[in-house]
Amino acid sequence: MDSLAQISLRPLFPASVSDSEIAQKVETIRSKALAVHNYPCIANYRFVYSRAKRNQWYPQVLDGIANKVILDAGCCMGVEARHMMRDGAKLVMGFDLAETFIDLGFELFGDRAQSENKFFTADFFTDDFEDRVRARLNAVDPSSGGYFDVIFLGSVLHLMNQAQVATILTRVSRLVRPGTGQIIGHTLGLPVPGPLVTPEARVRSEALAQRAGDRYLHSPASLEALLRSLPCSEAHADFSAPLDMAMTAGARPDQMSPEQILVEGFIKTRGSRMMGFYAVRAAV
């Protein structure tokens, strides 16, 4: 685990837990996760970084956060959700398809007793997805009316095919509070949208690969157009320029400048692929 990962995680642990203990916890959890789901983002420690805080629209999330109910959709081990809890949100919940990730998050942070009702499993593509998520929210916070003020979509969309990306965004948009709610997130993209059919693209769980088929990556323009097709008052997609290949083709974090580590940690591109951030504000 590199120093940036350590810096990212440190605020989520009490002072009584040493840096070396955090590092050991991460190594243990990473090994357990890889034994079940061989995702590159797990192997490369991407699961410990907070990309939400690098999203240029995150300051809008922080504005009035004490009154906001937030959902981390596709939360993996819940690092982003726990950062938002620490930032002072009224309530943060998270779900993932893999129960293994939820349980490993509890093991990593040791907070099952306090957070077990806030994390759950759900599948974007089941018929009862929206009802299931609303029921979990209403059970914890009946005053929410079944709506979230902010929904965060992390590294989710670029794992799916074109139709599934549209389905996810449509279903999630119906869970965000009309008029004031926001969807923010990040995704891998291409300068020209299209399927990503490489050996690396297929390094996913067998169930996901069978269901999703070829991954589809949007361009900034195509993603923004898709976002604007949702019931929203505004939508934005902003992709970074591609990084130099030398930075991403086997370069070690300890061989980079701090600025490069930040970019590698939060943007991560290879060749012509780009990591971009997006935001949607719900329509009235």
Inter-residue contact 250 to 167 (CB < 8 Å): no
Task: Kindly report, residue by residue over 91-134, the tens digit of the pLDDT.
Answer: 999 999 999 999 999 999 999 999 999 999 999 999 999 999 99
- pLDDT surpassing 50 at residue 267: no
Question: H or E element: which one contains 92?
Answer: strand 91-96
Task: Kindly report, residue by residue over 29-87, the tens digit of the pLDDT.
Answer: 999 999 988 888 898 888 888 888 888 889 999 999 999 999 999 999 999 999 999 99
So what's the pLDDT on residue 240?
61
So what's the pLDDT on residue 181?
94
| Structural domains of the chain, ranges and CATH numbers in brackets | 49-282 (3.40.50.150)
Specify the DSSP class assigned to residue 148. B
Banded pLDDT at 255 (limits 50, 70, 90) = very low
Give the Cα separation of 31 and 75 in Å (integer): 18
Look at 22-26, 61-65, 94-98, 278-282 and tell me which has the smallest mean pLDDT: 278-282
For 147, the token pair is 């709506």
pLDDT averaged over every residue in the chain: 82
Inter-residue contact 94 to 106 (CB < 8 Å): no
Query: pTM for the full model?
Result: 0.84
Task: Identify which of 161, 160, 136, 158 has the alpha carbon closest to the alpha carbon of residue 146.
Answer: 136
Task: Identify which of 240, 248, 256, 159 has the alpha carbon closest to the alpha carbon of residue 207.
Answer: 159
So what's the pLDDT on residue 284?
60
CA 142 to chain centre: 25
